[in-house]
Structure 1
Amino acid sequence: MVLTAGRERIGSLLTVLCGAIFLEGVDIAMINVALPSIRADLGLSTGTLQWVMSAYVLGYGGFMLLGGRAADLLGRRRMFLLWLTVFVLFSGLGAIADDGGTLIIARFVTGVAAAFMTPAGLSIITSTVPEGPVRDRALMIYAGTAAAGFSLGLVIGGVLSAIDWRWVFLAPVLFALCLLAAAVRLIPRQPRVARSARDVDVVGAVTITAALVVLVLAVERAPHTSFVSTAAAAVVAIALLTFFVLWERRAAQPLVRLGILRSTRLVHANLTTLLLAAAFFGFQFLAVLYLQEVRGWSTLATSFAMLAIGADAVLAPTLTPRLVARFGHRRVIVAGMLLAVLAYALFLPVGPDWGYAAMFPTMILLGVSFALAYGPLTITATTGVEESEHGLASGLLYTSFQFGAALGLSAVTGALAGGFHVALVVPLISALIAAATALRS
């Protein structure tokens, strides 16, 4: 289904979809910034507060692959609109929550909603805009908007938390309602592929979702639980994944066509994305820890210090497409990852009295590196995929990104036992491996 609509309609559609991915990025960042205010107001324990963060990660990372395939089988427009509505409802529930349990439920379901909505949005772009320079530019804009949402969310969350933390939940509701009204009108209709329950691989869907939920839980909770608990969860996840692979090989209508993983380009793109996210989110966690706990900076000052990373929002749709057109996707991705290596290396000798001028090169280089790498990785991971599997390819990409983020946060948290500078080596190594992986793609 490739539309012959003009550039104006494509531009309007892209605006709506970029708004949704911006909303997702803002939502994650704002909650992270608002956690201290939420804890103080509701009197939450450290464990409960941790679960407010973990619940979203579990919902998002665990259901992403299922969400991507559901878009292919049940209709991308249908999935996008349905789960954007769920996002509105449960973000609203978070705004009126008076206890930790309600807040955890709201964050989990919001994460699930994002897991279905995000791959549906990306696959709408790839199935609507023909392959070529126009789609490449659209995907660059989309990727840049996603990163901008996270970067700006730190600042927006700091401002809203200073007023009242409940606005961190209410503001996305208002924005999402506007997006929903526009999406109903602009997103093209698409027939559903699955006509009955027999067309859906229920066993595969339940198995892979359970496997990913347990795997994300094992990685995300590793620094806070015993080795035995982590190992047990990892064994259960591996067992479920093994069963899933065996089932998919014999299923009449498999949820995931395993042959898609024979694409070396797709596999390398997903692995590079995983490592990029691990390095990026691991470093951001350490940088925030340094600025707030070592330097004593306020939440808002920390947010503004990280804002330079948001340079990718400007560079992704302007500079990156020109570089890709001249040098190709692989070289631009490798250049982006090498810049990330340089950025993390420059931050290694950070001291307790560093001024912001000494930190700025790392922040701006990270913005440039993300702009160069993430958009082309999105293109590489979805190019050449059959239209009937665009949602699956999108789900794989975002699962890799989300799992990488959880892995990076877990790794740096565990490495902190050896000291702050030891933990800073983790993002550097992740970026180095990502650059080597990108070179082979």
Structure 2
Amino acid sequence: MSEQRSKTGVAAPPDNAAAAEGPRRPGLALAVIATAQLMVVLDATIVNVALPHVQQALGLSGSGLQWVVNAYSLTFGGLLLLGGRAGDLLGRRKMFIAGLLLFSAASLLGGFATTQEWLLAARAVQGVGAAITAPAALSLITTNFPEGPQRNKAMGVYASMSVAGGAVGLLAGGALTSYVSWRWVLFVNVPIGLAVALAAPRVLAEASRHRGRFDLPGAITGTGGIAALVYGLSSAATTQDGVSHWGDAKVIVSFVAAVVLLVAFVVIETRSLHALLPLRLLRNRNRTGAYLIFAGAGTGIFGMFFFLTLFMQSVWGYSALKSGVSYMPFTVATLVSSATAAQLVPRVGPRPLLLIGSASSTGGLFWLSRISEHSTYAGGLLGPTMLTGVGIGMVFVPASLTALSGVAEADSGVASSLLNTGQQVGGATGLAVLGTIAWTTVADQAQTHAAHPVPGAHDLATGFSRGLLADSGIALLTFVITLATIRLKRADLAGSTQPAPAP
């Protein structure tokens, strides 16, 4: 077959049998990929509602409690690029299974934790498993489903799991904590992970491994830079007591280290023959725009879950389970919207859907920012969360297809990992900023009417409202990025195939 280039400027996937014909059991293949993605995503939130019970059982300090969440995010976000490239070089299905087994083993050990150190170590290893599994899951869609209707449908299901997983995690965490034990928010991963790992070699096609070597200098600087950035952001945000940590020595050192390491990473990647991140992937405006859109969407989701969960429990007095159930309309709206986007993208192209989705997310988050302690669920929360869910679902499918369209098959693992990296790092960055805005407002409100201020319902509602308003501003920025960068036409997603460049 003669070598050619797609309109996106990067070689598209080769015409291999697996991608051309699809898996022999596409329904089961999609179920395996979607279940793995759901498990990885929901684990970022399923632990949240169990934190008070974890603290009581293990005697965790306040900072230790924070790191039950952050230990997972740190290793997950920091190792995504390395996990994506490992799939390209060692085999995506193989790494998918390895990541699932590691994730399941860490979940089992974490469920038996009797000390803070034990639990935090298990959560960090969970993040390593997730960093291997997540990019492999997305790139396996490109391996098992050819561009066109099959891949659009698969991407719609994958996107639904990526978005709805957070809400499902809150619901599952509330139910397991209320009716069984907090330990089951970890144990539940074990049978699911083992079942998916056993099914994977039977239903998923494996692409051929690609020649090349690991870019060790790039891996050290890239992984270290992202990890330092996530650590700094996780430690920096203003907390509920109104104290800002942006000026702390460890935060400043983390940010300086992140800048130095990431600059070194870019320099190394421009000169490496076996780059961890081929910079040619970022030279395409559509693809870079899609990564930025994913970062903005990550902020929107992280911010909404964070503020609304605290609002419902701290202001309205909802239980953990009731808070999780309250997200069900959002989840349904997201699922329907993702499925609709998968059907529409081959007809209208990605740009209109991205514009509609980002505009809907902006409107929904702005509407949510009007919420107060006197609002009701039906009048103040139901409508805007559903509108936001429609917008997020409408964004994820076309953004994923845009980012992966025309990518050389040899690079699909790292291209997939960049989407997850954008969502994780964008979410961590955005939430640190949004949290600072919200908690500063809460502290200022409390200071205005008490000699010894303790934030009340009005103070908390005002702060969360301000945080959601800033969140809607980031969604609006995502709309502007879409206008400025996305030019991909529906014809560009038609699925012409080309060979990967020689390593």
Q: TM-score range by the shorter chain?
A: over 0.9
Corresponding residue for residue 366 of structure 1: 388
Residue type at the aligned position of 1:227: G
1:141 touches 1:316 (CA, 8 Å); kept in 2?
no
Corresponding residue for residue 151 of structure 1: 167
Mapped partners of 1:278, 1:149: distance in 2: 15
Corresponding residue for residue 337 of structure 1: 358
Mapped partners of 1:317, 1:340: distance in 2: 14
- Show CA shifts across 1:298-351 (max 9, x none): 111111112221024531453222332332211101101111111111122211
Are residue 324 (structure 1) and residue 341 (structure 2) matched?
no
1:64 touches 1:115 (CA, 8 Å); kept in 2?
yes
TM-score of the pair, normalised by structure 1:
0.96
Paired residues, number: 438
Percent of aligned pairs sharing the same letter: 34
Deviating more after overlay: 370-379 vs 305-314:
305-314
4+ residue runs over 6 A deviation: none
Cα deviation for residue 23 of structure 1 reads 1.0
Residue type at the aligned position of 1:434: T
SS of 1:254's equivalent?
Answer: coil
Mapped partners of 1:316, 1:69: distance in 2: 31
Corresponding residue for residue 400 of structure 2: 378
1:40 to 56, 69, 77: 56
Mapped partners of 1:67, 1:312: distance in 2: 31
SS of 1:217's equivalent?
Answer: helix
- Show CA shifts across 1:19-64 (max 9, x none): 1001112222211111111111111111111111110010110001
Q: Summarize the alignment of residues 133-212 of structure 1 with structure 2, pairs less than 5 Å apart.
A: 133-162=149-178, 163-194=180-211, 199-212=213-226
Q: Summarize the alignment of residues 188-267 of structure 1 with structure 2, pairs less than 5 Å apart.
A: 188-194=205-211, 199-223=213-237, 225-229=245-249, 230-267=251-288
Residue type at the aligned position of 1:325: P
- Show CA shifts across 1:39-96 (max 9, x none): 1111111111111111001011000111111111111011111111101100001110
Cα deviation for residue 2 of structure 1 reads 4.0
Corresponding residue for residue 441 of structure 2: 418
Deviating more after overlay: 182-191 vs 89-98:
182-191
Mapped partners of 2:333, 2:414: distance in 1: 26
Q: Which runs of 5 or more residues in structure 2 are unaligned?
A: 1-15, 239-244, 443-462, 487-503
Mapped partners of 2:53, 2:336: distance in 1: 34
SS of 2:237's equivalent?
Answer: helix
1:144 touches 1:312 (CA, 8 Å); kept in 2?
no
2:37 touches 2:134 (CA, 8 Å); kept in 1?
yes
Q: Which runs of 5 or more residues in structure 1 are unaligned?
A: none
RMSD: 1.6
More helix by proportion, 1 or 2? 1
Cα deviation for residue 188 of structure 1 reads 2.1
1:9 to 12, 22, 25: 25
Residue 2 to residue 382, structure 1, CA distance change in 2 (3 Å): farther
SS of 2:82's equivalent?
Answer: helix
Residue type at the aligned position of 2:87: A
Corresponding residue for residue 455 of structure 2: none
Are residue 409 (structure 1) and residue 403 (structure 2) matched?
no
Q: Which has the larger radius of gyration?
A: 2
Corresponding residue for residue 105 of structure 1: 121
Deviating more after overlay: 309-318 vs 166-175:
309-318
Mapped partners of 2:122, 2:312: distance in 1: 30
Are residue 354 (structure 1) and residue 370 (structure 2) matched?
no
Residue 361 to residue 316, structure 1, CA distance change in 2 (3 Å): closer
Cα deviation for residue 357 of structure 1 reads 0.9
Mapped partners of 2:333, 2:423: distance in 1: 17
1:279 to 275, 292, 300: 300
Mapped partners of 1:335, 1:36: distance in 2: 39
Residue type at the aligned position of 2:431: L
- Show CA shifts across 1:108-159 (max 9, x none): 1101110111101110111221111221111111111222222222111101
Residue type at the aligned position of 2:427: A
- Show CA shifts across 1:205-230 (max 9, x none): 11100011001111121115341432
Mapped partners of 2:132, 2:74: distance in 1: 13
2:81 touches 2:276 (CA, 8 Å); kept in 1?
no
Are residue 315 (structure 1) and residue 336 (structure 2) matched?
yes
TM-score of the pair, normalised by structure 2:
0.84
Mapped partners of 1:284, 1:149: distance in 2: 11
Corresponding residue for residue 483 of structure 2: 439
Are residue 294 (structure 1) and residue 294 (structure 2) matched?
no
Residue type at the aligned position of 2:247: F
Residue 126 to residue 57, structure 1, CA distance change in 2 (3 Å): same
Corresponding residue for residue 76 of structure 1: 92
Residue 375 to residue 312, structure 1, CA distance change in 2 (3 Å): farther
Mapped partners of 2:394, 2:135: distance in 1: 21
SS of 2:234's equivalent?
Answer: helix
Mapped partners of 1:6, 1:381: distance in 2: 21
Mapped partners of 1:355, 1:178: distance in 2: 41
- Show CA shifts across 1:356-394 (max 9, x none): 112111111121111111111111111111100000110
Residue type at the aligned position of 1:21: Q
Mapped partners of 1:7, 1:59: distance in 2: 32
Are residue 429 (structure 1) and residue 503 (structure 2) matched?
no
